[in-house]
Amino acid sequence: MSNKLQAPTELPDETDLRAVLAYNMRLFRVGQGWSQEELARRCGLDRTYVSAVERKRWNIALSNIEKMAQALGVEPYQLLLPPQARLELMGNP
């Protein structure tokens, strides 16, 4: 198993909110250069919880979305935006 951080390679189904959240969490986490363990530490959550959310295994409470967003330095809604919507938002002043 590689310790190399890898951004997600497949875009999520925009109608699957858990897939969108998992994609964005991983994208922002890898962008920070953090492992799941590091994100969990910064959020005060367990690494297995972060892993399960990124693998779409568990639902997540809004309070935990807020914790993750704060740790990642993004607004909570950004974790729930489909990638295409985020690109469109960034392109429009």
Q: Is 42 exposed, middle or buried (0-12, 13-18, 19+ CB in 10 A)?
A: middle
Whether residue 3 is predicted with pLDDT greater than 60 in this model: the reply is no
Tokens found for residue 37: 């363990």
The pTM assigned to this predicted structure is 0.86
Q: What is the mean pLDDT of the chain?
A: 91
Percent of the chain with pLDDT over 70: 94
21 Cβ partners below 8 Å, 6+ apart? Answer: 53, 60, 65, 79, 80
Percent of the chain with pLDDT over 90: 75
Give me the helices (H) in the chain, please: 17-32, 36-43, 47-54, 62-72, 83-91
Query: What is the rounded average pLDDT of the residues 56-68?
Result: 95
